[in-house]
Amino acid sequence: MATISRVADHCFWLSRYLERAENIARILEVNQSLLLDTQLPAEKQWMPLMIISGIHDYKGTFESEAVQEFMTWDIDNKTSIQFSVNAARENARIIREVISSDMWERLNFYYLWMQDTAGRYLYNQNRHDFYNQMKRINHMFHGITDATMSHGEPWQFLQMGKYLERASQTARILDVKYHVLLPSTEDVGMPIDNANWMGILTSCSGYEPFHKQYDSRDMLMSTAVADFLIFDPIFPRSVRNSLHMFQTALHAISGNPVREPKNDPERLTAELLMWLDSSQIDKLVEVGLHESLTRVVDTIGDLGAKIHETYIDVRMPDVMPT
Amino acid sequence: MSSQMMTLGAMTMSQGHVPASLFSNYKLHPKAWDELFDLSCAAHPHCHAVVERLGKLGLTEFQDRRTSADLEFMNQGITFSVYADRRGVEKIFPFDLIPRIVSGSEWVRVEKGLRQRITALNMFLYDVYHDQRILKEKIVPEDLVLRSKGFRKEMIGFTPAQKQYIHVVGTDLIRDDKGEFVVLEDNARTPSGVSYVCENRIVMKKVFPQLFRDSAVRRVEDYPQRLRESLFSVAPDGRDDYPNVVLLSPGSYNSAYFEHSFLARHMGIELVLGADLFVHKDIVYLKTTKGPERVDVIYRRLDDDFLDPETFRKDSLLGVPGLFRAYRAGNVTLANAVGTGVADDKAVYPFVEDMVRFYLTEEPILRNVPTHICARPKDLAYTLAHLEELVVKPVNESGGYGMLMGPSSTSAERAAFRVKIQADPRNYIAQPVVTLSTSPTWTEEGVAPRHVDLRPYIVSGKTTWVLPGGLTRTALVKGSLVVNSSQGGGSKDTWVLEDR
């Protein structure tokens, strides 16, 4: 069964926004914990976060509370948590007949929770738990989605949005590190540095999985964490694994075998993955991690556009049955 | 103060029928018929059991259940947005937990009357777009029909599938001070509100499970399935095996979007917007991820004006260019049909009783409210001379917009209205003020009578089905006769009881 193109678009963006809300929370949290171990001027602490979120016109102060307020609650900021939750919920509202009632009710419940004083209260009382709550929202929503909605095409579009956004966001979280501690080579491998990398891992829920396989004789901690978050084949938030999951959903929609990409988004995905599969962390670090992460983020941007051309904004007369 | 104003508590305490608490301070309205209590302040026989059980609830308990009902509506997102608020604060439609109860035997008569009326209206539409017998025989003035805004000359000579025009109608009934149901208006274009009937019931069942178990209330939740069957039954010839049925909505900013979504969800059909559809060689297609998909039946929640910029309003961005051509070619069914507005024109309404007599040679079971048609000089003169006693309504509006409530109007309002009526008499009708019946309703000052109306929904395809009950709308302001949700009204669950 095919899906109305507009509906597919809403599915895609519903889960992208939700994933984005979660990852903003993760980034805010990691940045906050990084700062516990570093002494930097406020602007240097928070400016990177703005850069990786694509915000260039922030007018407020770089005082910690001001930035977190802006990134959490400001609905004029298109990358704030509140904006993303609102957008996810609005996409869901428009396609309530497509998603399951359970999904809608849970999402609406969280939306109301944020609108209400309860969300604000938790934010004021326990910032850490507030950001954790954003993760829980998504975990629960994904669980409900998988358990209550038929795994047809609309579901695949939800999957695509989720994994594409996740790949992009994991790359961005790693990139915060690059921006916060501009290559100060003398710090590499120092205890403070290691604490930072642990913070990043924790923010990606990767602390335990990472330690199950890390061997300090093989690699510097810093390189190993980047390796893990970019390349790990089985960790669910690594860039590569997220892109593979994305690819699975993408091909489930067209029915083309994964080995035979036939349309633009499939070809672009295959290229990106081929590049990742053939790259090694040492090389990436050599070229500059930031440049490689930027390539990932930019390609993901292009992918979004290609999906739109292929499935959403289809020029119908071209494909009319005769 | 009449004897009717005595409180129930005083009587019932001694009789032991209705325990003090919920209804103990209820004071009947001095003039109106009450839906639950008779003039002696005893519950109507068919309401007795429910009143007794509800009455047993303490005020605190009742309040608790109110809170959980409100929360349920909020969590389900059965809300409307307050647009003035940038943070997007949403509100629920006020819902009153005390049901409005109709006896099974009374409903039999109402249902019969509604069937009769909708049959006649449907025949009227077929007639005015074909032979126009009713106009030729001067039962209904030709001028009134042909100049109605709802009359679509483009429909002349065209016969929709199954000769069905009004697939869904919401007929507004009110009860006069003698307790008789009369028809206030017919909504034959795109009546809304039925999702609230269903959702109200779902919430009531959650809040009062025991009450439902003990009372035999007829189900309303089957509505979407009935509508689905009806829509499937009117697919174009040759497309009736597995027709592709969709609901066409004006979009998520429309105040009835919740309902569109609700109905699509419960019918298991796609909700589409105009931009999701296109017409190619007089066939309607849906734009999907796998290319075009043919569409056979469109349940449209869009007025005629906006359906097709090629035929109707050129500036409509909500519709589908070429849709009307496809419709006239018989390749797609629109529900409701185009041009049904002529049947719910308020100046045509006064003739519905005559339509019943003309087409069915029967006496109408449900009566109209006496109506003055300002298009007629005599009626116009009467209306202008009695503005203070009348309700004056524009003929094509719905939602209670643009009305003058004579008795509660100021002289300045009347003067302004006089000018409007004189400028365009065809656009107005006037009716005497009917004291709508009241039903006990939770208010700030405890349970008090508030005026109500009733909108049952009738679904027609190959066959006709009447929803048992309908939307009871209630004015929340003391003394107000305006029940429209757009004017601050609320709603109640309507219980049609099974005859036991």
Distance from CA of B258 to the nearest CA of A (A): 8
CATH number at residue B404: 3.30.1490.270
**DSSP secondary structure letter of residue A313:** S
Inter-chain contact B293–A2, Cβ cutoff 8 Å? yes
Q: Which two tokens stand for residue A115?
A: 């609108």
Residues of B in contact with A86 (CB under 8 A): 88
Rounded percentage of chain A residues whose pLDDT exceeds 90: 61
Please say which residue of B360, B392, B410 terminates a domain: B360
Which of B276, B277, B289, B299 to substitute to test the interface with A, most A CBs within 10 Å? B289
Confidence band for B93, pLDDT divided at 50, 70 and 90 = confident
**Which two tokens mark B262?**
């609700």
State the pLDDT at residue B47: 93
Q: What is the pLDDT of residues B375-429, one digit of tens each?
A: 899 999 999 999 999 999 998 776 677 889 998 899 999 999 999 999 999 999 9
Tokens 């206030």 correspond to: B184
Q: Average pLDDT in the A94-98 region? A: 95
Give residue B19's pLDDT: 41
Tell whether B289 and B327 lie within a shared domain.
Answer: yes
Return phi, psi of residue B271, to 5°.
-95, 125
Range with top average pLDDT, A128-142, A150-164, A284-298, A303-317 = A150-164
The answer to whether residue B479 is domain-embedded is no
Q: Are residues B319 and B405 in the same domain?
A: no
Contact residues, A window 95-124, toward B, CB-based 8 Å cutoff: 95-97, 101, 104-105, 108-109, 112, 115
Contacts of A105 in chain B (CB under 8 A): 75-77
Is it true that the peptide bond before B336 is cis, omega within 30 degrees of 0? yes
**CATH number of the domain where residue B224 is located:** 3.40.50.11290
CB of B244 within 8 A of CB of A2? no
Express as a percent the part of chain A with pLDDT over 70. 92
> Cβ contacts (< 8 Å) between A317 and chain B: which residues?
280
Residue A34 lies in a domain: yes
Same domain, B240 and B300: yes
Which pLDDT score, from 0 to 100, does residue A47 have? Answer: 81
Q: Is residue B163 part of a domain?
A: yes
Integer CA distances (angstroms), A165 to A15, A297, B440, B450, in order: 8, 9, 53, 53
The range of the structural domain enclosing residue B379 comes to 370-432
Report chain A residues whose CB lies below 8 A from the CB of B73: none
Q: Are residues B274 and B393 in the same domain?
A: no
**B285 & B383 share domain:** no
Asked if the Cβ–Cβ distance from A320 to B278 is below 8 Å, we say: no
Task: Tell me the residues of B at the A interface, defined by beta carbons under 8 Å apart.
Answer: 74-77, 86-89, 252, 257, 261-262, 264-265, 270-273, 275-276, 278, 280, 285-293
Last residue of a domain, one of B416, B432, B448: B432
pLDDT band with cut points at 50, 70 and 90 for residue B14: very low
* Alpha carbons B305 and B319: distance in angstroms, whole number: 9
DSSP state of A98: T
Range scoring the smallest mean pLDDT among B283-287, B407-411, B451-455: B407-411
Is residue B306 domain-shared with residue B342, that is, in the same domain? yes
Q: To the nearest whole percent, how much of chain B has pLDDT over 70?
A: 93
Please judge whether A316 and B287 are an interchain contact, meaning their C-beta atoms are less than 8 angstroms apart. Answer: yes
A295's enclosing H/E stretch is: helix A289-307
Residue B372, pLDDT above cutoff 60: yes
Which residue would you say has higher pLDDT here, B327 or A33?
Answer: B327
pTM to 2 decimal places: 0.89
Cβ neighbour number for residue B412 with a 10 Å cutoff? 8
**Is the pLDDT score of B3 beyond 80?**
no
As a whole number of angstroms, the distance between CA B92 and CA B68 comes to 13
Q: What pLDDT band is residue A180 in, cutting at 50, 70 and 90? A: low
Average pLDDT for A4-9: 96
Residues 6+ apart with CB under 8 A from B269: B228, B231, B245, B246, B247, B299
Beta strand pairing status for B283-288 and B390-394?
unpaired
What digits encode the pLDDT tens for the residues B36-68?
Answer: 999 998 999 999 999 999 988 888 888 899 999
Size of chain B, expressed as the number of residues it contains: 500
Split at pLDDT 50, 70, 90, the class of B5 is very low
Give the closest-approach CA distance of B264 to chain A in angstroms: 6
Residue B303 shares a structural domain with residue B402: no
Query: HSE on the CB side for B460, CA within 13 Å?
Result: 25
pLDDT at B115 > cutoff 70: yes
Residue A166 domain flag? yes
What pLDDT is stored for residue A187 in this prediction? 55
The reply to whether B381 and B356 lie within a common domain is no
Calculate mean pLDDT across residues B65-87. Answer: 79
pLDDT of residue A218: 81
Q: Does residue B405 share a domain with residue B288? A: no
Q: What's the 3-state SS for chain B?
A: CCHHHCCHHHHHHHHCCCCCCCCCCCCCCCCCCECCECCCCCECHHHHHHHHHHHCCCHHHHHHHHHHHHHHHHHHCCEEECCCCCCCCEEECCEEEEEEEECHHHHHHHHHHHHHHHHHHHHHHHHHCCCCHHHHCCCCCHHHHHCCCCCCHHHCCCCCHHHCCCCEEEEEEEECCCCCEEEEEEECCCCCCHHHHHHHHHHHHHHCHHHHHHCCECCCCCHHHHHHHHHHCCCCCCCCCCCCEEEEECCCCCCCHHHHHHHHHHHCCEEEEHHHEEEECCEEEEEECCEEEECCEEEECCCHHHHCCCCCCCCCCCCCCCHHHHHHCCCCEEECCCCHHHHCCCCCHHHHHHHHHHHHCCCCCCEECCCEECCCHHHHHHHHHCHHHEEEEECCCCCCCCCEEHHHCCHHHHHHHHHHHHHCHHHEEEEECCCCCEEEEEECCEEEEEEEEEECEEEECCCEEECCCCEEEECCCCCCCCCCHHHCCEEEEEEEECCC
Q: Is A129 helix (H, G, I), strand (E, B) or coil?
A: helix
Two structure tokens written together for B46: 């068919």
Residue A322 located in a structural domain:
no
Q: Is A236 helix (H, G, I), strand (E, B) or coil?
A: coil
Residue B247: strand pairing partners: B271, B299
Residue A196's nearest CA partner among A47, A40, A60 is A40
Domain count along chain A? 1
pLDDT at B15: 44
pLDDT bucket at B25, cuts 50 / 70 / 90: confident
What's the Cα-to-Cα distance from B373 to each of A27, B353, B432, rounded to whole Å?
68, 15, 12
B288 and A93 within 8 Å at the Cβ level: the answer is no
Neighbour-count burial of A316, counting CB atoms closer than 10 A to its CB (0-12 exposed, 13-18 middle, 19+ buried): middle
Closest CA–CA distance from residue A322 to any residue of chain B (Å): 11
Residue listed under structure tokens 């091909």: A251
| pLDDT tens-digit series, residues A257-291 | 999 999 999 999 999 999 999 988 888 877 788 88
Tell me the shortest Cα–Cα distance from B280 to chain A, in angstroms: 8
Q: Does some domain include residue B275?
A: yes
A321 lies in a domain? no
Position B303 in a domain: yes
Pair (B266, B380) in one structural domain:
no
pLDDT at A37 over 70: no
Per the domain annotation, does A128 fall within a domain? yes
Find the CB nearest A319 among B261, B262, B291: B291
Same domain, B352 and B389: no
ipTM: 0.85
Residue B126: inside a domain: yes
Q: Is A65 helix (H, G, I), strand (E, B) or coil?
A: helix
Together in a domain, B352 and B396: no
Read off the pLDDT of each residue in A236-254 and give the average, rounded to a whole number: 96
Q: Do the domain assignments include residue B296? A: yes
Determine, yes or no, domain membership for A272: yes
Residue A280: count of CB within 10 angstroms of its CB: 10
Residues facing B294 on adjacent strands: B285
Name every chain B residue with its beta carbon within 8 A of the beta carbon of A97: 261, 264-265, 270-271
Q: Report if residue B152 sits inside a domain.
A: yes
Cα distance between residue B176 and residue A90, in whole Å: 43
Asked if residue B10 has pLDDT above 90, the reply is no
| Residues across chain A | 322
Q: Which chain B residue is nearest to residue A309, measuring alpha carbons?
A: B289
CB-based contact B265 A96, cutoff 8 Å: yes
Indicate whether B412 belongs to any domain: yes
**Quick one: average pLDDT of B440-462?**
94
Q: Is residue A255 part of a domain?
A: yes
- Chain A residue nearest residue B262, CA to CA: A97
The domain total for chain B is 2
What average pLDDT does the segment A59-75 reach?
92
Residue A179 has a pLDDT of: 65
> Residue B81: its pLDDT value, please?
64
Dist. CA B198–CA B206, nearest whole Å: 13
The C-alpha atoms of residue B448 and residue B478 are separated, in whole angstroms, by 8
